Amino acid sequence: MADDSETSATTAMPLPAADELRQIGLDAGLDAVGFTHAEPLTEARVVLESRKAQGLHGGMQFTYRNPERSTTPSRILADATTLIVGAWPYANRPPDSRGSEEAGPQAEIAAYAWRDHYRDLRLALEAIAAPLRQAGFTARVMADDNSLVDRAAAIRAGIGWAGKNSNVLLPGAGSWYVLGAVITNAQYQPDRVIGDQCGTCRRCLDGCPTGAIVADGVVDARRCLAWLLQVEGDFPIEYREALGTRIYGCDDCQTVCPPSRNEPTGLVGDEVTSLDLFELLTASDDELIEAVGRWYIPRRDPRYVRRNALVALGNAQLSSAQEETARSLLDRFDPPDTSSVDNMLSEHARWARTQLGLS
Ligand code: B12
Ligand code: SF4
Ligand code: SF4
């Protein structure tokens, strides 16, 4: 049953034409808007189930928890007929000046997390949903929600093609987009699907620091740094060096991608493109959640932010002054008196100390 925010019971306005809705989305900041029918995304379901069976999901839940649900739009809206998919662009190169010289070693953040792009994406999708509701139809907005496989919906709606790096790439623009959809019971003609434009290129497969793209379009999450930063437990020792100074997400399979090297979309101004590792490692739980609580952190436990920061610190290039600060910080996580120590963090601190040659 739809609530008041999903349908309008007041005097109905005429149903807007597809191009009118598309223009509303573009005016609201989307770079592409595409239409597809709301039949199940059967291929994606098969992919989800087969990856799960092969263990390639690395224990991920998200859309993998219930592949039938996340590929069946009628589970979101029983009489759904159309998905209207939108792509929101985000900046992918940091501004030239990256802070003052006094700043501590920096932790890298993947571009999609520099600010809350999903909020803007949802607002733009709401702008499309509003006239549908005014016309008496139901419209629900879904973005990065476990109940819909966004890439599969985008591909079927003709937004872009399925890249070998598994991202959706927009023709002439690449993959620096977050994706979402309006699910509605209003009827529209589907757009045409865009064919593959990767051709013989395979830079993303070769450019992945851990070899996580195990076949065209297939990411083995057990090796993907973006996922490993989000898993509970120890960060796997064999991928710690490859992690570099990343603390959230990984962009390598996009930065090497020729179609994604177009002029970056402008920075909005409130992006946080990196964080100071020393500050992260001295922050309280509350401060950490305040700073990065928007991210996916296992069990929302700030220890995992510290765990990631310790690995990043172990990989950082430090000045001699910074080495002294690093040494005392690492001693704090791995003190001589082990009676009250957090075993996970002390092990990562020991690893970082060895990496930095501070033992
Ligand atoms: C789980 C998940 C992850 C996992 C696993 C990703 C993966 N590739 O399997 C992890 C944590 C690793 C991850 C990482 C990232 N993610 Co993510 N993630 C999701 C999530 C929650 C579900 C994805 C899903 O269901 N996958 C299941 C399978 C079926 O889909 P898929 O792997 O995406 O497969 C598509 C392609 O691989 C292709 N495909 C399948 N088989 C084949 C075969 C061939 C030959 C080819 C060419 C293609 C192809 O078609 C599939 C669609 O049917 C979605 C949000 C959502 N609700 O959908 C975001 C989402 C996919 N992620 C997104 C982003 C931005 C990222 C990162 C770029 C973030 C970062 N910088 O760290 C990385 C990219 C890593 C990568 N190469 O995929 C965006 C994608 C935007 C885009 N333009 O494609 C999404 C859609 C979030 C959003 N709403 O915007 N993500
Ligand atoms: S996000 Fe990074 S680790 Fe994951 S597939 Fe892409 S390049 Fe590889
Ligand atoms: S790097 Fe090449 S193969 Fe990979 S997604 Fe981009 S164009 Fe396709």
157-204 residue pLDDT tens: 999 999 999 999 999 999 999 999 999 999 999 999 999 999 999 999
CB 307 within 8 Å of CB 345: yes
> Among 157, 184, 211, which residue terminates a domain?
184
Residue 229 in any domain: the answer is yes
Residue 321 in any domain: the answer is yes
Query: Looking at the predicted structure, is the pLDDT value of residue 88 above 60?
Result: yes
**Is residue 302 very low, low, confident or very high in pLDDT (cuts 50, 70, 90)?**
very high
Query: Distance from CA of residue 34 to its chain's centroid?
Result: 21
CB 267 within 8 Å of CB 273: no
Query: Looking at the predicted structure, is the pLDDT value of residue 119 above 80?
Result: yes
pLDDT at residue 181, as a whole number:
98
* CA-nearest residue, atom 4 of ligand 3: 204
Query: Looking at the predicted structure, is the pLDDT value of residue 28 above 60?
Result: yes
* CA-nearest residue, atom 3 of ligand 2: 224
pLDDT, tens only, 4-25? 456 555 568 999 999 999 999 9
- Residue 151 Cα to ligand 1 middle (Å): 6
36 and 172 fall within a common domain = yes
Average pLDDT over residues 114-131: 97
- Residue 256 Cα to ligand 3 middle (Å): 8
Cβ-based burial of 53 (10 A; exposed 0-12, middle 13-18, buried ≥19): exposed
CB 229 within 8 Å of CB 139: no
CB 310 within 8 Å of CB 348: yes
Range in 84-93, 102-111, 299-308 the model is least confident about: 102-111
157 and 215 fall within a common domain = no
- In the chain, the number of structural domains is 2
Cα–Cα distance, 144 to 133 (Å, whole number): 22
Domain range for 277: 203-356
Range in 14-23, 69-78, 153-162, 254-263 the model is least confident about: 254-263
Q: Taken in order 331, 334, 336, 341, is the CA torsion positive or negative?
A: positive
Testing ligand 1's pocket by substitution, the residue of 65, 116, 151 carrying the most ligand atoms inside 8 A of its CB is 151
Both tokens of residue 107? 């932790």
CB 81 within 8 Å of CB 196: no
- Residue 182 Cα to ligand 2 middle (Å): 29
**Ligand 1: nearest atom to the Cα of 155:** 52
pLDDT at residue 4, as a whole number:
43
pLDDT at residue 236, as a whole number:
98
Cα–Cα distance, 324 to 356 (Å, whole number): 11
pLDDT at residue 265, as a whole number:
64
Both tokens of residue 257? 């991608």
Matching residue, tokens 């940091």 = 94
76 and 32 fall within a common domain = yes
> Among 128, 156, 184, which residue terminates a domain?
184
264 and 336 fall within a common domain = yes
Testing ligand 1's pocket by substitution, the residue of 150, 155, 222, 256 carrying the most ligand atoms inside 8 A of its CB is 150
- Residue 200 Cα to ligand 3 middle (Å): 9
Instruction: State whether the beta carbon of 165 lies less than 6 angstroms from ligand 3.
Output: yes
278 and 166 fall within a common domain = no
276 and 323 fall within a common domain = yes
Residue 53 in any domain: the answer is yes
Residue 5 in any domain: the answer is no
Average pLDDT, the chain: 93
Residue 105 in any domain: the answer is no
Q: What are the distances in angstroms from CA 61 to CA 90, 134, 147, 230?
A: 26, 36, 11, 12
pLDDT at residue 347, as a whole number:
97
Instruction: State whether the beta carbon of 213 lies less than 6 angstroms from ligand 2.
Output: yes
41 against 270, higher pLDDT: 41
93 against 311, higher pLDDT: 311
CB 271 within 8 Å of CB 90: no
pLDDT at residue 69, as a whole number:
96
Residue 108 in any domain: the answer is no
Residue 2 in any domain: the answer is no
**What proportion of the chain, given as a percentage, has pLDDT over 90?**
87
231 and 170 fall within a common domain = no
Instruction: State whether the beta carbon of 210 lies less than 6 angstroms from ligand 2.
Output: yes
DSSP labels, 60-74: --GGGS-HHHHT-GG
280 and 132 fall within a common domain = no
Instruction: State whether the beta carbon of 163 lies less than 6 angstroms from ligand 3.
Output: yes
**What proportion of the chain, given as a percentage, has pLDDT over 70?**
94
Query: Distance from CA of residue 309 to its chain's centroid?
Result: 19
Which residues share a beta bridge with 108? 246, 274
pLDDT, tens only, 30-51? 999 999 999 999 999 999 999 9
Average pLDDT over residues 321-342: 92
pLDDT at residue 101, as a whole number:
54
Residue 334 per-residue DSSP state: S
pLDDT at residue 5, as a whole number:
55
